[in-house]
Every structure is written in structure tokens, then in C-alpha cells.
Structure 1
Amino acid sequence: MKLEDIYQFFENPPPTYLCQELAVCYILSVLREGESYGTELIQKLEQEYPTYRLSDTVLYSAIKFLEDEKAITGYWKKLEGRGRPRRMYQVSPEWQERSQQLADLWQEYIKRRSNSLIISRELIASGE
């Protein structure tokens, strides 16, 4: 390792994989905007938050947790142009308030992380 490697790490950090706790909050954040399916949840994360990743294993364990808690419901839907139906998820009506609280935790987390990266980059640029 060289000193330059440290600067390079903070300028181009490797993707951060979501843990189950973050995944639950992220999923609820997306589902509050409308129904979605597993692959789409992963794609949205990578498009909207390019420095984050979500593995299939963590995604589906978070979905199972949310279904067990009755926070979300799933149903099969045939999508145009797809051979087989997709399992669609939506927030349960009785979970609207709680899902907003958890979605807010995701938004706060992202904001804090973004601010930390900005500060790190400013320190690197100033040579401090």
C-alpha cells in the first residue's frame, strides 16, 4: 500500500453492501412510492445510489422479515413482455406510519454518509 492508495480509496470508494437492517429501511422507502419486485429493488438502488449494492441474499431475507412482520404483502403479477409472473410487493395499509419512520431512517443514513464523503473529499483536495 502507498499513501496515494488511501487518497484513491476516498476519491473512489468501493461499493458498500447493505446489511439487513439498512435493506429493510431501503425496501420500505421504495415501496412507499409504489409496488416493486426484487430485481427492480436492486436495480433502483444501483441507479439512485451508485455507491451502494444489495445482494440477493440480504434482499430476500429482508423481504421475508417484512412479510413475517406483516409490513408488506406480496402477490404474483404477469408483466408485459415477461414470460413468467413477478412477485410484487407493497406496504401493508396498517404499516403506513411505521414504514414512513423506517424509510426516514434510510434517508437520514444516506444523508449522513454523503456528508461524510464530501468532507473526506474536501480534506483530500486541501491536502490536510
Structure 2
Amino acid sequence: MASRDAVSDLVRGNIDAIILQTLSGGDSYGYEILKEVATASKGTYELKEPSLYTSLKRLEKQACIEGYWGDETQGARRKYYRITDDGRQELQEATARWIHVREIIDRLLHVDGGER
């Protein structure tokens, strides 16, 4: 059985797509993204803050997302992120890549539904 680290490694390779998927549902800020990923994975994967912020910086540099400061009247200011058209395109391509790779692995492991 795969260790939790092996599963985390597989998920970690898709963090950008996971964040883009999360932002496709609406603008969000760091902590909220972390909570959404934990909820969507039903608690089986916890995205770490350093990984999140590294990915957000990379996605912002690639123009897949845009960051902007919120105008909170109470508490600390939050940086929000929104997905761009380029980000939507990247999410679509990343999803297609994932489906293709999953189909290959299913065939190689002779998983039900995978061709032999």
C-alpha cells in the first residue's frame, strides 16, 4: 500500500491545477484556499502554506491568476486571487493531461476500465 508521502507527492505534482480549480469557483485568499483543498479532499490531503504560496507566486508570474488586496475594515488586509483567461486555459489543459496520464496508468496496472 502506498505511503501517505507517496500519495502527497502525486497530489503535489498537481497543485497548480488544484489551485486553479479552486479559484475557478470564485476569488479567494490563501487561508480560504487551504480550507477548500482540505474540504474537497475530504481531509485526506492537507496543502501546506509554503507550497500554496510558492504556487500562487508561480501562477501569478505566468499570468494564470491575478492578485489584489482586499479592503477589509477589520483585521489584517488579505491578498485575494482570481483566475484569468490564461489560467482557465491552463486548467483545461492540465485536466486533459491528468486524464491522459490516468488512462495510461490504468492500462499499465490493468485497472478496470483500462484497455489491455
Do the aligned residues in 2 keep the contact of 1:72 with 1:90 (CA within 8 Å)? yes
CA distance in 2 between partners of 1:60 and 1:39 (Å): 10
CA distance in 1 between partners of 2:65 and 2:89 (Å): 13
Q: Output the amino acid matched with 2:80.
A: M
C-alpha deviation, 1:33, in angstroms: 1.2
C-alpha deviation, 1:14, in angstroms: 4.8
Tell me whether 1:87 sits opposite 2:54 in the alignment.
Answer: no
CA distance in 2 between partners of 1:51 and 1:107 (Å): 19
Give the direction of change, closer, same or farther, for the CA distance of 1:105–1:35 in structure 2 (3 Å limit).
Answer: farther
Q: Which residue of 2 aligns with 1:68?
A: 61
Please report the TM-score for the alignment, with normalisation by the length of structure 2. Answer: 0.68
Match of 2:14, SS?
helix
RMSD of the alignment, in Å? 3.0
- Comparing both chains, which one has the higher relative contact order based on Cα–Cα distances under 8 Å and sequence gaps of 6 or more? 1
Do the aligned residues in 1 keep the contact of 2:22 with 2:37 (CA within 8 Å)? no
Match of 1:58 among 40, 46, 51: 51
Please report the TM-score for the alignment, with normalisation by the length of structure 1. Answer: 0.62
Tell me whether 1:99 sits opposite 2:91 in the alignment.
Answer: yes
Q: Counting helix residues as a fraction of each chain, which structure ranks higher?
A: 1
Instruction: Please list, as runs of the form range in 1=range in 2, the aligned pairs for 1:1-128 lying within 5 A after superposition.
Output: 14=4, 16-17=7-8, 18-19=11-12, 21-49=13-41, 50-79=43-72, 82-102=74-94, 104=95, 108=99
CA distance in 2 between partners of 1:39 and 1:105 (Å): 28
C-alpha deviation, 1:96, in angstroms: 2.4
Do the aligned residues in 1 keep the contact of 2:70 with 2:78 (CA within 8 Å)? yes
